[in-house]
Structures are given as C-alpha cells and as structure tokens.
Amino acid sequence: MAEPSTSTATIFARAQTLGTPLTPSPQAIVANEDGQLLVATRGELNIFTPAFGIQVDKAPETLPTPSVVAEQTKERSAKGKGKEKETQASKVGSQVPLFRTTIIVDKKDLVEWGGWVSEVQAAAGATDAHWRCATWSPTGLSSLGGCVLAAVTNNNEALLFEPEKNAYKGVWKESFDLTSHLIKLIITEDDLQPADGHIQTALDRRRLAARLHECHSTTAAWSPAVEGTFGDYSILAVGHRSGHISLWRKYPDGTMGVLHRYRMSDEAGSIPLISWSPWVVTEEDDRTIALACLAVADAEGRVWSVEVSQVVTAPHVGFAAAADSTIPDEEPADVWAIVPLLVCEPDRRPATQFRWISQEGAPRLVFTKIGTVSFATLEPTDIAVTGNYRVKETTELDLPPQGSWIGVSALSPCCGIEYLPERHAIIVALTDGSLHSITLDPQPAFTPSSPVLPSSSELTASMREVFERLGMAAFASRGDNKVKKVEWKEGSRVNGFAAVGDDGEVAWTYELMRPDTLGYKANSGIKSILIIASLFGSVSVEGQFARLGAIFASLLNARIRSPLTVLRSLLHFVHDHIADAAFCEELRNHLSPVDLPALPDMAQQHEDKVAATSAFVSKLFGETVLEQLRCREAIARFMLRLPNLPKSQRHDTLALHTTLARQIAREVTSRLGAVLSSSKGILGPQELAISGRILLASASLLPSPTTAPMADEPILPPDALSNAFEGTETCPACRAAIPFANIRKAACLNGHQWERCSITLAVVASVQVRTCTACERKALIKLVAEPASSPSKQQGQGGGAQASVEVINGILKTATCCLYCGGRWMRIR
C-alpha cells in the first residue's frame, strides 16, 4: 500500500453544474462500474465521464441539447452584452476533460395523484417537479450493454433511463415507468375502482388513497450483481410513502417485473433511505443461494436490516434471453425476504446515510443521524426463523465540529460515507464542508494523525484548501484583490460526497454562493461545482507501480467492470506526469507484453445454444491473461492520445501498443474460434462460414511477429488466406471480391474500404452497428439469416429452408462490451 505524501490536494477534474440537489441526498453523487459519475441536481441528472483513452475530438455528435464536453475544454460564449471571459478558476492545473450529458426532469407529463380520488391524503404535495435521488444498475443491463439509471422525483414517480445511442454525450431516454406499472397492478389486483369509474363513498376514497400511498416512490437502490452472473440477478428496491418496499427485476426485453411488495412494520412511516449489501453466495440442498441485506430507514428514525435471498440457477437469465429472446419463468418462491430485523429504535431522527462494510465475513452497517454516526455489527445465528444474522452490538459516536469558518456545525446533515478497505477506515462528510476520519479496528474511533491515514482535521484542511484555491482564483479573475486568504471566512456547502478511486480520490459538489449573506436567490440562480481530487495528496511513482502490480494480480473481468474504471486512479497520475520521459519509459517496462499460454482446449461439444453462449462468456471474460492484456493496452492507448507525450517516447509507445493489440487479437480470435469449433454440431451453414473465417484468422496470427509494424497495416497474408478461405466475400458497393487480408479492415479489388465486425470478422455493410468508445472497433447488433441456396445442402448440415444464426446472435447479444479492449458500446445511427 502506497503511503500518502504531505502535499496538498491534487485536483484531477472539475465541472460546473446547473443547480443544486433538492436535499443533501445519499444519491447526490453516485459512480457506476462503467466509469461514469452521476451528479443529481433539482432539475437535472448530470452524467460525467472522464475521457480516458477516448477520442474527445472524434466523439460522435448527437442532438445539440444537453450534450457537451465539460468546461475544461472551452468556456461557452455568452449572448447579450458581450463575450464571457474565461476564468482563472478553469485554468487551475491540467485536468482530465469530462464528457457530460443531462436528463431534464419532465414537468408536464406528471402523475396527478389527487385526480384519482377527492382526498387530500392522495396528493404528493409537490408544487414543482424536481429530482429527488437516483441510482445505477450493474453494468450490462442497458440495450447498449452499459448501466441503467433509476431515478425518483419529488412527485413520487420512479423512472428508468437508458442511453439511446451514446451514453457519454447522447440523449438518455425513459425506458420504463415503474410508478404507472405499480398503479395498474394495485388497481387491477385489488379491484379498487368500480366498474362505472365513480367512487361513491368516503370510505372507498380513503381506501384507494391508502393504497395509492404504496405507489408513492420516495427512494431507490439497485443491488450489486451476484458474483458470476453479470447483473442478471440484481434487484431494484424502491421505498414508498406507505412504509412499503417493492423489489423489481429487469428482464432482457427491457420490461420490469415486481418480485415482492411488503411493509416493514405496522408502525413504519415513509421510507427516505435504503441501501444494499454485497451478495453472499452459498450452496444449500443442491441449490445455489445468494443472500444480501437491505438496510431500510423510515421517517421516524427506525432502521431495519432485511435479509433478501434468491435462488441462482443455470442457465443465467441473460444467457437464455440472448439465445432465444424469451423471458425465463421465475417463481415468487425463488426470491424471498426474512422478517425485518430492527437495528435502531425510533428517536425522531431519520437516518441520512447508509454504508455496508464487511468485517471477518459478517456485515456491518454504518449509518448517520444528525450529530452522530452509528455502527451496527451483525453476527450469524442458528435460528433459521429469525434469519441468518442478529445484531451483536451497536456503537454510536458523536461527531465533533471541524473547521473555523462560517456555518460549521456538528449538527450538519451527512452527505456521504466512504469506506477505505486498505486502511479499514471510513470517511464521513458533512454538508458544512468538514470530514471525519474513523478507524474500525478494533473498535470505531476517530483517527489520530498517522502516515497511513490523515486525521479528521487534516482531511478537512485538504478539502478546505481546494475550496479556497478555486474561490480565490475566481475573485482574482474579477479583479477583486482586496480579499486575502486570511480573511476568507465563507464556508462551502457540500451537497454530495463519494469515493471514485484509490488513495483518497473522491468527488464532491458544493454550492457557488455566499452562505454568510442574507441575499435571496432563486433555485435557478444557485449553481454548484463538481470536484474530483485526491485528499491524501499525490502518491509516489513507486506507489503507483505497486498499485499497477496489485491490479494485475487481482481478479479482473471487463464485462463486470470496465478497465478504464479499474485504472482510473492510475490514469489520473499518468495524465499529470506524462511529460516526464523517464516516467514514460519506466511505465512501458511495466506494460511489457506477457507470455501467451497455449490455445484453450475445447474438446467438449456444446449441445445447445445456451451452453455455447455460456462458454463464450467464460472464455472471453475473466481470463487472467486476456484481462491483463486489456489493462496494459488501455494504459498504452491513453498515453498515445495525450498531446503532452514527449516525441522521443511516442515511437516506442506506439510499438508497445501495437504489440499488445496483436496479442489481444490473437487471444480473442483463438478463444472465439475454439468456442465455435466446439459448437459446430449446432451451427448453421452461415455460422460455419463465420467459424472458418475466425479459425483462419487465429491460425494466421501464430506465432506472434517479432517486429511491430503500424496498426493499420495488413496482418494476414492476403494470397494464402484468399486461397485457403472458401467463403468468398463480395463488396456491397460493386460486388467485387474482397480478399481476407485484415481482421479489422476490408478493401475490394476496386478500392472500396469497409470495416469488419470485431466478433464475426464479416464485412460491415450496414450503418446499424455498434462502435467501441475506446478502440473504435465495430460490432454487428444482429446477424441477418441468409436464405438457403439449396434445401439438400441445408439438410445435410442440419439446417432447414432458412439458415440458422441463433448461436452467433446469442454471442452478439451477450457481448455487452468490446472483446478486444473491454470498452463500452455506442451507436452513431
């Protein structure tokens, strides 16, 4: 573990948002497994993505609405009296550019709760529509293979959003309305509304109003993926105004299904906060059981822990849907919950933040209330009726005030809790701009100053230093030189706080206003700024290389977590030190190509398309050698795309990147060819041609060349391959023959240039394709079956009148990320 230095906080990126959150919500800042960062404000959900290894100038443009690159690149021009000058605050340090897209709250198409019945209790009480909170799903659940966003408004509506074409810069569209689905479900199953549509008595109106409270959504939390299932068994939990919790499952066709609805207790009030623990997988009675704890808080101050269990069966939900586009039958008994375990009695202080941590195999719940932070340790129990855990002990600490500026108070609400597993400590952030460092071993206690972990006062000083640095730069840009640092008494109102990397790399937002003044400002006039920085200071070069070795030694899977997300902290350091030629040379030594193992042995023949798809996932994702190559290639690609890379280092870095790309191509084609070879008994004629092309490409890439030519040069011998491959391809434009000379590019004899699908290696003749956001490779969305040329030929190969392409289409749909670099997909058209 690298020791932090005593230098000041290092700012990696910053961007100005358009407003502030409705309240200091626990979901004001949320990071997902694709490297994206959600910043929730009143009227917008801002999605930021660091441009690590992504071509900023080549990124496709979409609708000119909420799609911009963050303000680090160029300040927008202002209309009216003149041009808006670029501020000095935007020039503080060299920072990583951010992609940004926003989701605007819909203020027109709202659910009119009071229109259902003439009861005041049925109304939500909102005068204007705002976002309340949002949460990310595990990766792989959207139509592009990324994350889905679940959001809740102050009108008590829960909605799902997915990117239409580009998750980084494009428009996110509403994909499912949870509230409308729940209203129809409750009205239908309980027969609450008479046949004539009129409610006659006051008792009927109150009964309907009480049931409508079960549809009023107040918060949401998406569980992490069960290990080995890639998000197929994740569950969305939604809290409601009536004290109920509803559990939802997202199916591959885009719909959502309700698994369970239950009330925490008869006395439970509105649910403002819920949080999931990681899943624990066990074997029981020839079944695989996954168990997770759901922390729930109500408005009266109660805190519960609910054990949610589910049966994990094979084939996986996603595999079955990828093969035949059908939703597997799921019985309600496959998902169940134990009676809620009361962790905290009601004290009129609702919990403001939750955080689950694991200690010696048992979960521990950390939750904050006004002025305190509590630690509830659970222990296993042998009483099956009451659940698998019981409360062992609960420890409560009073939060002392930190700082000497205006607005400091220990009674400020908590805006974030982050766990540091390497140091076994947590950081508690309050809205007054103070941070509290607490160690957990052996008992929770405030951290004294040490080289391993800064104390609370040191962390608060680091955050304060960032606020003063940017604030003083803003004053200087306006020509106000009267304000000195010693006179700076304003405080920063922090609205969200979240860890986004290793060694103290965090993100937070604070308001751009003067809290010590009594001047009124409308909500539209209050802006906030997003900061991504390291509060522990810059880590040494030796510490960064030690981190890189730890990453290579860990269990990686590009389908579960993007390589750019795993390498985020290291890439920030590379961005700041890329001008150092000695550092670049030493980094290349750590990225040297690996020794490739022998080709995978796939002697077992797959009898159905689901088994073939499962083998594809197991061989192409999670393999140590291939995942290490993806990480090495991502770092080398990021170095090449930085303009500050010394010219003396560019040639060697390009040669390294080309060698790594060749090794990845060899591994991908050989593994994919082995999977298709073991499935030849169920492949149609069109799929057999694809299998032959992939096998031929993998054979031509062995052995790896000793020299490293340019990446766009042909890597296959044209004459030998054209003669060996029987499946002749023709140019879609002129119908001329296309020799098989490159696995990425294709050119006919008349000079027409085409891209090849990175999975099937077929010529891409359609604009409806996916493009990798990192390496810009193409991939087909779906393979169209060609009509059979001869019935006798089809029957001899196990086909009918129509060529079968179910296996290839199952592989294409299951490939939720690029096979070569692990990047996420986008669509241009």
Q: Which of 704, 780, 777, 706 is nearest to 743 (CA)?
A: 777
In this prediction, residue 29 has a pLDDT band, given cuts at 50, 70 and 90, of very high
pLDDT for residue 438 is more than 90: yes
In this prediction, residue 196 has a pLDDT band, given cuts at 50, 70 and 90, of low
**Structure-model confidence comparison of residues 536 and 54, the more confident one:** 536
- How much of the chain, in percent, has pLDDT values that exceed 70? 77
In this prediction, residue 424 has a pLDDT band, given cuts at 50, 70 and 90, of confident
In this prediction, residue 8 has a pLDDT band, given cuts at 50, 70 and 90, of low
The secondary structure of 277-324, three-state, reads CCCEEEEECCEEEEEEEEEEECCCCCEEEEEEEEEECCCCHHHHHHHH
Work out the average pLDDT over 395-419: 89
**Structure-model confidence comparison of residues 372 and 119, the more confident one:** 372
In this prediction, residue 527 has a pLDDT band, given cuts at 50, 70 and 90, of confident
**Structure-model confidence comparison of residues 714 and 761, the more confident one:** 761
In this prediction, residue 785 has a pLDDT band, given cuts at 50, 70 and 90, of confident
pLDDT for residue 121 is more than 70: no
pTM score, two decimals?
0.87
330 sits in which H/E element: none
Res 200: pLDDT? 59
In this prediction, residue 591 has a pLDDT band, given cuts at 50, 70 and 90, of very high
pLDDT for residue 732 is more than 80: yes
Using one digit for the tens of pLDDT, what is the confidence trace for 202-244? 777 777 777 888 999 999 999 998 877 766 789 999 999 999 9
CB 127 within 8 A of CB 154: no
Mean predicted lDDT score pLDDT of the chain? 81
pLDDT for residue 777 is more than 90: yes
**Structure-model confidence comparison of residues 570 and 195, the more confident one:** 570
**Structure-model confidence comparison of residues 482 and 673, the more confident one:** 673
| Range of weakest confidence among 49-63, 110-124, 346-360, 651-665 | 49-63
Three-class secondary structure of residue 202 per DSSP = helix
**Structure-model confidence comparison of residues 315 and 165, the more confident one:** 165
In this prediction, residue 753 has a pLDDT band, given cuts at 50, 70 and 90, of very high
How many alpha carbons lie under 13 Å from residue 776 in its C-beta half-sphere?
A: 11
In this prediction, residue 92 has a pLDDT band, given cuts at 50, 70 and 90, of very low
Work out the average pLDDT over 733-751: 90
Task: Calculate the alpha carbon distances from 86 to 51, 72, 75, 474, 481 in Å.
Answer: 22, 10, 6, 10, 18
pLDDT for residue 354 is more than 90: yes
In this prediction, residue 475 has a pLDDT band, given cuts at 50, 70 and 90, of low
pLDDT for residue 576 is more than 80: yes
At residue 618, φ and ψ (nearest 5 deg) are -70, -30
Work out the average pLDDT over 702-710: 47
Res 330: pLDDT? 57
Work out the average pLDDT over 258-268: 91
Cis peptide before 703 (omega within 30 of 0): yes
How many alpha carbons lie under 13 Å from residue 555 in its C-beta half-sphere?
A: 4
Res 799: pLDDT? 42
Task: Give me the residue label for tokens 């992490």.
Answer: 224
Using one digit for the tens of pLDDT, what is the confidence trace for 304-320? 999 999 988 754 444 33
pLDDT for residue 697 is more than 80: yes
Question: Strand 37-40 and strand 44-50: pairing?
Answer: antiparallel
Work out the average pLDDT over 480-491: 58
pLDDT for residue 71 is more than 50: no
**Structure-model confidence comparison of residues 210 and 651, the more confident one:** 651
The four Cα atoms 82, 86, 88, 90 give a dihedral, to 10 degrees, of: 140
List 375's β-bridge partners, or say none. Answer: 366, 395
CB 131 within 8 A of CB 201: no
In this prediction, residue 198 has a pLDDT band, given cuts at 50, 70 and 90, of low
Sign of CA dihedral 209, 213, 214, 217: positive
